[in-house]
Structure 1
Amino acid sequence: MTSGTPPRDGAIIAVDWGTTNRRAYRIAADGSIGDHLRDDRGVLAMAAADYPPALAALRERLGDLPVIAAGMIGSTRGWHEAPYVSAPADLPALAAAALRIEAAGLTIVPGVSLLTDTRADVMRGEELQVLGAIAAGLAPADAVFCQPGTHNKWIVTEAARIVDVATVMTGELFALLKGHGILAGMLDGVVTDGPAFRAGIARGAGATDLGTALFEVRASVLLGHRAPDEAAAYASGVLIGSDVGARAIDGRTVHLLAEGALADLYKVAIEARGGVTVAVDATAAFLGGVHHLRGYLGL
C-alpha cells in the first residue's frame, strides 16, 4: 500500500505497538473487530529496516488497509518519533498532532506529556486507552485511572481531557530488588493477596522511609518474624502500598485499566486505602480510542 486512502469498506488496522509486545486488529467502519493478532514484535525486537516488511506482513494478514499505530513505535526507540502533546489533551489534540507517514499508509499517535514547575512525566499508548474508555462509555469524562504495570500510571481526566499523569516505577523496583542487592534470593516466593501482602500495604502506605521499610523485609526474615516464603508478598505490598498511599483516593472511584494478578493486587491496595475500584477492559478501551480517533483523522 502506498497511500493512507481508506478502502471502500472504511476498515483500518489498529496497532498497539509496545516495548515488548505488539497487538494488531482489523476494525470495520462501524467499530466492530475482525481478525486480530498478538506477538512479541515490540519495538525492542525491531530495527528501523524491520518496520516496512512488518507492516506489509500485517496487511497480508489483516487487509491492505490504512494503519493507525499507538505506543512505543512513536518513541525515540521506535520507528519515527511522534512528539508529545502537552496536557491537557483530548482526542482532537492527538489527531491534530498525529504523525502521518503517507508512503507507508501509517499514522502514529503521539503520546502525552506533563511539565510543571515541580514535575515532568510522559506516556505513550495509555493516553489512547484512557480517552478511548471515555469515548466508548466505559468511564466518565471526569475520572481517575490506574494502569498497573512495570511502570504504573495514574491518570486524571476532566471533561474528557487528560490533565494529570504520574508514573511510578513500582514493578521495575520490585524486579530490581528481586534480581540485585541485599534482597536478591529472598523475593522468589509467590506474590498473592494475604496477611503478608496486606501487612506490606499498611507499612508502605504513607511511609516516608521506604528504604527502611524495604530493609525490614530482610531483617524480619532473619529474626524469624516473617516466614521466608512471605517475603516477596510483603515487599510487593510495601511497594504497592507506597504507590497507592501517595494518592488522594479515599472515597473516590479508581478505574483500573488492566487485568490479571497485578491488577488484582492493586485492587486490594486501593480498596484498603478507602478507594472504590471499577474494572475497565483495556483492549476495549484501546479499540474505542482508535475508532473515535479515526473520525478526527478523516480515515
Structure 2
Amino acid sequence: MHPLSDEEFHRASRYVDEFARQIGANPVGAFDCIYRSHDFPDTRMVIKLRAAHEVYALKIDVDSPGTGRLKQEFDHLTALSEYFSPMKDSDVVHPVYLSPSQAFFVTPFIDRPTAADLIHNSIDDTQVAQIYRRAGAWLNDLHSFRPSKEYRFRPKWMTDLIAELNAQVPPSVRAESDVMLRVLLAEMAGLRGAPETQVLAHGDFHSQNLIVGQGQMVGLDFTETREKLAVYDIVDFLKSDVFRNAPTDAIDRSGIVQANKQMFLRRYRHPFRMDVLDFCLRARLLIDWLSLWQADHPYSAYDEDRRQRLGDRLRLAFQKP
C-alpha cells in the first residue's frame, strides 16, 4: 500500500463518494492506494475500494481533465470489452464509470496475480512457460482488433536513445555498451526499412499489465494504446524474462530464454521478422540497462537487482552471432 498525503486523501474521498452515489451504494469506508506511478507519483494512482459488496479499482489522473488521457483509455476499454466478450481465454478489465470531470474512472478489481508475479517468483519453469504461451495468445487477440497495416521499420530512435544514455554512464559501463552499440548500428543498416506489421498496440505491454485470471488472461492499463509496430508489444512483455534464472546455453541472441520466447510465439499469428524482434529486444534491454546507470537517479534494491540481471543477459546476448 502507498500512503496518501492529506490533500490526496481528501481528493480520493471525494472521488470515492461520487462513485458510491453513482451506483447507489452506502458511503464507502476505508480505501487504500495500491499503486502510485513511478514517473508521475503526485498525479497518477489507483485506489482499491469496496462498495455494494463489490471490490473496485479507481484510477486517478489529476491532469486528465486537461489531457483527456483517462477518457481515451475508458473509450478503448469500452470498445475492447465488447470485442473480447465472445472470447473464452482473453479479456480486458471492464469499464464501470467515468467521472464527468474525467479525473478518474472505475473498473472491477481483479484479485489475481499478474503475469509478472509468476514470471518473477515462480520456481516452476513449466508454469512460467504456460504464462508466456497464454500471454502470446492474448496479444494475438488484441492485435486482431483492427486490420493490420504494413509499415517500414525505423529503428534509429533506439540507437539514438542508446547513444544519449551512453554518454551519462560510468566509464566501465560505457566500455561494454560502446561495443554493444556498434553491433546494433551494424545490424540496423540491414534492417532499416524492413516491412513490419502495424496494429492497434497495447503500448505498455509489460507483464504487470496482464492478469492471470481463472481460465482467462485479462489485460489492463491501456493509457498508451495507439497504432504502432506489433513487435514493440512483444518486446515489452518478453523483456520481463530477465528475472528468470536460467543456464547460459538457454539464452538466445535476443537475451531471452529461448524456450520462453518460443512459447510466447507459439500462438502469436501476426507476421513479423525474427531478426527485427531480436534487434529490438537487445536494443530495449540495453536501453533499460543504461537507464539504470544514470548518475542523477536514486536506485532501490529492486533496481540494482534488475541492473545486474540486465547486464548479465546483455553480455550473453552479444556473445552470440
Structure with the larger strand share? 1
Instruction: Calculate the TM-score normalised by the size of structure 1.
Output: 0.27
Structure with the larger helix share? 2
Instruction: Calculate the TM-score normalised by the size of structure 2.
Output: 0.25
